[in-house]
Copies of this chain bind each other. A is one copy, B any other.
Amino acid sequence: MTEDVVAPDLTEDALARLQAAGDPRLKSVSESLIRHLHAFVREVKPTMPEWFAAIEFLTRTGQMCTDERQEFILLSDVLGVTMLCELINNQAGEAVTSNTVLGPFFVPGQPVLPMGATILQREEPGEALLVHGVVRDAQGAPVEGARIDVWQTAPNGLYDIQDETAPRGHLRGAFVTGADGRYEVRTIRPTPYPIPDDGTVGQWLKAVGRHPWRPAHTHFMVQKPGFQTLTTHLFMAGDPYLQSDAVFGVRPDLIVTPEPGPRGQEARYDFGLRTAVGAAE
Protein backbone atom coordinates (compact mmCIF):
# COMPACT_ATOMS: atom_id res chain seq x y z
CA MET A 1 0.00 0.00 0.00
CA THR A 2 1.49 3.39 -0.91
CA GLU A 3 1.16 6.52 1.17
CA ASP A 4 -1.26 7.97 -1.40
CA VAL A 5 -3.88 5.47 -0.38
CA VAL A 6 -4.08 6.55 3.27
CA ALA A 7 -7.28 8.54 3.62
CA PRO A 8 -7.07 10.87 0.59
CA ASP A 9 -10.54 12.05 1.61
CA LEU A 10 -9.10 13.52 4.83
CA THR A 11 -7.09 16.15 2.96
CA GLU A 12 -10.01 16.86 0.62
CA ASP A 13 -12.32 17.25 3.61
CA ALA A 14 -9.93 19.63 5.39
CA LEU A 15 -9.77 21.78 2.23
CA ALA A 16 -13.52 21.69 1.62
CA ARG A 17 -14.19 22.99 5.12
CA LEU A 18 -12.55 26.32 4.24
CA GLN A 19 -15.38 27.26 1.90
CA ALA A 20 -16.96 29.58 4.47
CA ALA A 21 -13.78 31.55 5.20
CA GLY A 22 -14.65 35.24 5.14
CA ASP A 23 -11.29 36.61 4.03
CA PRO A 24 -10.12 35.31 0.62
CA ARG A 25 -6.43 35.74 1.53
CA LEU A 26 -6.81 33.75 4.75
CA LYS A 27 -8.70 31.11 2.77
CA SER A 28 -6.00 30.69 0.14
CA VAL A 29 -3.16 30.71 2.69
CA SER A 30 -5.00 28.12 4.80
CA GLU A 31 -5.61 25.93 1.73
CA SER A 32 -1.96 26.07 0.79
CA LEU A 33 -0.92 25.32 4.40
CA ILE A 34 -3.16 22.25 4.59
CA ARG A 35 -2.02 20.92 1.22
CA HIS A 36 1.69 21.32 1.96
CA LEU A 37 1.43 20.19 5.60
CA HIS A 38 -0.49 17.05 4.66
CA ALA A 39 1.96 16.33 1.84
CA PHE A 40 4.83 16.63 4.34
CA VAL A 41 3.11 14.29 6.82
CA ARG A 42 2.24 11.77 4.09
CA GLU A 43 5.85 11.83 2.95
CA VAL A 44 7.60 11.39 6.30
CA LYS A 45 4.94 9.14 7.87
CA PRO A 46 5.69 10.15 11.45
CA THR A 47 5.22 7.56 14.16
CA MET A 48 2.96 8.79 16.96
CA PRO A 49 6.00 9.33 19.27
CA GLU A 50 7.65 11.39 16.48
CA TRP A 51 4.45 13.41 16.07
CA PHE A 52 4.42 14.09 19.80
CA ALA A 53 8.12 15.06 19.77
CA ALA A 54 7.25 17.67 17.11
CA ILE A 55 4.37 18.96 19.27
CA GLU A 56 6.73 19.28 22.23
CA PHE A 57 9.41 21.02 20.13
CA LEU A 58 6.91 23.65 18.94
CA THR A 59 5.52 24.09 22.46
CA ARG A 60 8.98 24.65 23.97
CA THR A 61 9.84 27.05 21.14
CA GLY A 62 6.80 29.18 22.01
CA GLN A 63 7.48 29.00 25.70
CA MET A 64 11.08 30.24 25.26
CA CYS A 65 9.84 33.51 23.76
CA THR A 66 10.08 36.62 25.93
CA ASP A 67 10.21 40.34 25.22
CA GLU A 68 13.91 39.87 24.51
CA ARG A 69 14.02 36.46 22.85
CA GLN A 70 11.96 35.36 19.84
CA GLU A 71 12.72 31.67 19.29
CA PHE A 72 10.11 31.25 16.50
CA ILE A 73 11.78 34.01 14.47
CA LEU A 74 15.08 32.23 15.07
CA LEU A 75 13.50 28.98 13.87
CA SER A 76 12.20 30.73 10.75
CA ASP A 77 15.71 32.17 10.26
CA VAL A 78 17.64 28.88 10.45
CA LEU A 79 15.15 27.13 8.16
CA GLY A 80 15.78 29.81 5.53
CA VAL A 81 12.16 31.00 5.70
CA THR A 82 12.82 34.55 6.90
CA MET A 83 15.34 35.15 4.12
CA LEU A 84 13.00 33.59 1.56
CA CYS A 85 10.22 36.00 2.63
CA GLU A 86 12.63 38.93 2.38
CA LEU A 87 13.66 37.93 -1.13
CA ILE A 88 10.06 37.33 -2.24
CA ASN A 89 9.08 40.79 -1.04
CA ASN A 90 12.18 42.60 -2.19
CA GLN A 91 13.66 41.20 -5.33
CA ALA A 92 17.06 42.56 -6.20
CA GLY A 93 17.72 43.62 -9.74
CA GLU A 94 20.38 45.06 -12.02
CA ALA A 95 20.88 48.20 -9.99
CA VAL A 96 18.92 47.27 -6.88
CA THR A 97 20.67 46.02 -3.74
CA SER A 98 19.49 42.74 -2.17
CA ASN A 99 17.53 42.80 1.05
CA THR A 100 18.50 40.52 3.86
CA VAL A 101 17.12 39.68 7.30
CA LEU A 102 16.38 42.52 9.73
CA GLY A 103 17.41 40.50 12.77
CA PRO A 104 16.43 41.24 16.37
CA PHE A 105 18.94 44.00 17.10
CA PHE A 106 17.55 47.00 15.22
CA VAL A 107 16.70 49.96 17.49
CA PRO A 108 14.52 52.60 15.82
CA GLY A 109 14.77 56.30 16.57
CA GLN A 110 18.55 56.74 16.63
CA PRO A 111 19.64 60.40 16.39
CA VAL A 112 21.02 61.57 13.03
CA LEU A 113 24.80 62.08 13.07
CA PRO A 114 26.85 64.45 10.89
CA MET A 115 27.94 62.72 7.67
CA GLY A 116 31.26 60.97 8.18
CA ALA A 117 30.93 60.72 11.97
CA THR A 118 32.02 57.68 13.94
CA ILE A 119 29.38 55.37 15.42
CA LEU A 120 31.72 54.34 18.26
CA GLN A 121 30.89 55.75 21.66
CA ARG A 122 33.91 54.15 23.33
CA GLU A 123 37.30 52.84 22.21
CA GLU A 124 37.29 49.32 20.78
CA PRO A 125 40.20 47.03 19.90
CA GLY A 126 38.80 46.44 16.37
CA GLU A 127 40.40 47.61 13.14
CA ALA A 128 39.14 51.04 12.03
CA LEU A 129 37.01 50.95 8.87
CA LEU A 130 35.46 53.69 6.76
CA VAL A 131 32.32 52.55 4.91
CA HIS A 132 31.21 54.93 2.19
CA GLY A 133 29.44 55.19 -1.14
CA VAL A 134 26.40 56.63 -2.83
CA VAL A 135 22.68 55.90 -2.44
CA ARG A 136 21.24 55.59 -5.97
CA ASP A 137 17.85 55.02 -7.52
CA ALA A 138 17.24 52.17 -9.97
CA GLN A 139 18.43 54.41 -12.84
CA GLY A 140 21.71 55.13 -11.04
CA ALA A 141 20.95 58.74 -10.05
CA PRO A 142 22.00 59.87 -6.53
CA VAL A 143 19.19 59.97 -3.97
CA GLU A 144 19.04 63.02 -1.74
CA GLY A 145 17.48 62.89 1.72
CA ALA A 146 17.76 59.12 2.21
CA ARG A 147 17.99 58.10 5.88
CA ILE A 148 20.60 55.41 6.54
CA ASP A 149 20.51 53.52 9.83
CA VAL A 150 23.68 51.56 10.67
CA TRP A 151 24.25 49.02 13.46
CA GLN A 152 26.75 46.27 14.22
CA THR A 153 28.46 44.24 16.95
CA ALA A 154 31.55 45.19 18.90
CA PRO A 155 34.64 42.94 18.72
CA ASN A 156 33.25 40.98 21.71
CA GLY A 157 30.44 39.79 19.41
CA LEU A 158 27.75 41.79 21.22
CA TYR A 159 25.38 44.58 20.14
CA ASP A 160 25.07 47.46 22.63
CA ILE A 161 21.67 46.19 23.79
CA GLN A 162 23.21 42.81 24.69
CA ASP A 163 26.18 44.31 26.55
CA GLU A 164 25.56 45.92 29.93
CA THR A 165 28.96 47.62 29.84
CA ALA A 166 28.35 49.34 26.47
CA PRO A 167 26.90 52.87 26.21
CA ARG A 168 23.43 52.86 24.60
CA GLY A 169 23.79 53.72 20.93
CA HIS A 170 27.35 52.38 20.76
CA LEU A 171 28.05 51.16 17.21
CA ARG A 172 24.72 52.56 16.01
CA GLY A 173 23.94 55.69 14.07
CA ALA A 174 21.77 57.36 11.46
CA PHE A 175 22.83 59.55 8.54
CA VAL A 176 20.92 61.53 5.90
CA THR A 177 22.30 61.93 2.38
CA GLY A 178 22.76 65.31 0.68
CA ALA A 179 22.25 66.18 -2.99
CA ASP A 180 25.22 64.00 -4.03
CA GLY A 181 23.63 60.90 -2.42
CA ARG A 182 26.90 60.24 -0.60
CA TYR A 183 27.19 58.56 2.79
CA GLU A 184 30.24 57.97 4.97
CA VAL A 185 30.38 56.05 8.27
CA ARG A 186 33.43 55.63 10.52
CA THR A 187 33.29 52.31 12.35
CA ILE A 188 35.38 49.22 13.03
CA ARG A 189 35.51 45.97 11.17
CA PRO A 190 32.61 43.77 12.41
CA THR A 191 33.19 40.26 13.83
CA PRO A 192 31.36 36.94 13.38
CA TYR A 193 29.05 35.88 16.20
CA PRO A 194 26.77 32.93 17.01
CA ILE A 195 22.99 33.25 17.13
CA PRO A 196 21.51 32.26 20.55
CA ASP A 197 21.89 28.47 20.61
CA ASP A 198 20.73 27.52 24.09
CA GLY A 199 17.11 26.86 23.00
CA THR A 200 15.15 24.54 20.75
CA VAL A 201 16.69 26.07 17.62
CA GLY A 202 20.19 25.40 18.96
CA GLN A 203 19.18 21.82 19.71
CA TRP A 204 18.01 21.29 16.16
CA LEU A 205 21.11 22.94 14.65
CA LYS A 206 23.35 20.68 16.73
CA ALA A 207 21.32 17.57 15.87
CA VAL A 208 21.61 18.22 12.13
CA GLY A 209 25.31 19.07 12.37
CA ARG A 210 25.02 22.81 11.71
CA HIS A 211 26.91 25.61 13.52
CA PRO A 212 25.17 28.74 14.86
CA TRP A 213 27.60 31.33 13.43
CA ARG A 214 26.87 34.37 11.32
CA PRO A 215 29.61 35.93 9.18
CA ALA A 216 30.75 39.40 10.25
CA HIS A 217 28.41 42.10 8.95
CA THR A 218 27.28 45.67 9.39
CA HIS A 219 23.52 46.28 9.18
CA PHE A 220 22.06 49.04 7.02
CA MET A 221 18.50 50.24 6.60
CA VAL A 222 17.99 52.84 3.86
CA GLN A 223 14.66 54.66 3.72
CA LYS A 224 13.17 57.41 1.64
CA PRO A 225 9.54 58.07 0.74
CA GLY A 226 8.86 56.87 -2.80
CA PHE A 227 11.33 53.98 -2.49
CA GLN A 228 11.06 50.49 -1.06
CA THR A 229 12.90 50.41 2.25
CA LEU A 230 16.19 48.55 1.88
CA THR A 231 17.03 46.33 4.88
CA THR A 232 20.41 44.79 4.34
CA HIS A 233 23.90 43.98 5.60
CA LEU A 234 27.38 44.43 4.20
CA PHE A 235 29.53 41.32 4.68
CA MET A 236 33.33 41.23 4.66
CA ALA A 237 35.11 39.28 1.91
CA GLY A 238 37.15 36.37 3.28
CA ASP A 239 34.94 35.74 6.30
CA PRO A 240 34.96 32.01 7.18
CA TYR A 241 31.17 31.86 7.50
CA LEU A 242 30.16 33.51 4.20
CA GLN A 243 29.15 30.12 2.74
CA SER A 244 27.34 28.90 5.85
CA ASP A 245 25.58 31.85 7.52
CA ALA A 246 23.26 30.22 10.10
CA VAL A 247 20.35 32.40 8.88
CA PHE A 248 21.08 32.29 5.10
CA GLY A 249 21.44 36.08 4.98
CA VAL A 250 24.39 36.34 2.56
CA ARG A 251 23.76 37.46 -1.03
CA PRO A 252 26.74 37.74 -3.40
CA ASP A 253 26.06 41.43 -4.09
CA LEU A 254 26.39 42.27 -0.39
CA ILE A 255 30.06 41.28 0.08
CA VAL A 256 32.59 44.11 0.26
CA THR A 257 36.39 43.98 0.30
CA PRO A 258 37.97 46.56 2.64
CA GLU A 259 41.10 48.02 1.05
CA PRO A 260 43.76 50.50 2.14
CA GLY A 261 42.79 54.02 1.05
CA PRO A 262 43.81 57.59 1.81
CA ARG A 263 41.83 57.43 5.04
CA GLY A 264 42.86 53.94 6.24
CA GLN A 265 40.89 50.77 5.53
CA GLU A 266 37.94 51.67 3.33
CA ALA A 267 34.96 49.68 2.09
CA ARG A 268 33.07 51.29 -0.77
CA TYR A 269 29.47 50.30 -1.50
CA ASP A 270 26.69 51.99 -3.47
CA PHE A 271 23.14 51.17 -2.35
CA GLY A 272 20.55 50.79 -5.15
CA LEU A 273 16.94 51.55 -4.12
CA ARG A 274 13.86 50.21 -5.87
CA THR A 275 11.04 52.65 -6.61
CA ALA A 276 8.11 51.91 -4.30
CA VAL A 277 5.14 50.14 -5.86
CA GLY A 278 2.63 52.83 -6.80
CA ALA A 279 5.13 55.70 -6.54
CA ALA A 280 5.42 58.11 -9.47
CA GLU A 281 8.49 57.32 -11.58
Residues of A within 8 A of B (CB): 1, 3, 6-7, 10-11, 13-14, 17-23, 26-30, 32-34, 36-48, 50-51, 55, 58-63, 65, 70, 72-73, 76, 79-89, 91, 204, 207-210, 244, 248
Q: How many copies does the complex hold?
A: 2
Indicate whether A30 sits within 8 Å of B80 (C-beta atoms), given known contacts A1-B91, A65-B63: no
Query: Which residue of chain B has the shortest Cβ distance to A73 in the bound complex?
Result: B55
Since A17-B244, A45-B88, A63-B65 are in contact, a sample of 10 more A-B pairs with Cβ atoms closer than 8 Å, ordered by chain A residue number, is A7-B87, A18-B208, A20-B209, A33-B40, A37-B40, A37-B81, A41-B81, A41-B88, A55-B73, A62-B72
A119 to chain B, nearest CB (A): 26
Which chain B positions have C-beta within 8 A of A210?
17-18, 20
Residue among A34, A61, A62 with the highest chain B CB neighbour number at 10 A: A62
Partner of A6 from the list B26, B63, B88 (CB cut-off 8 Å) is B88
Decide: A23 and B84 in contact? CB cutoff 8 A. no
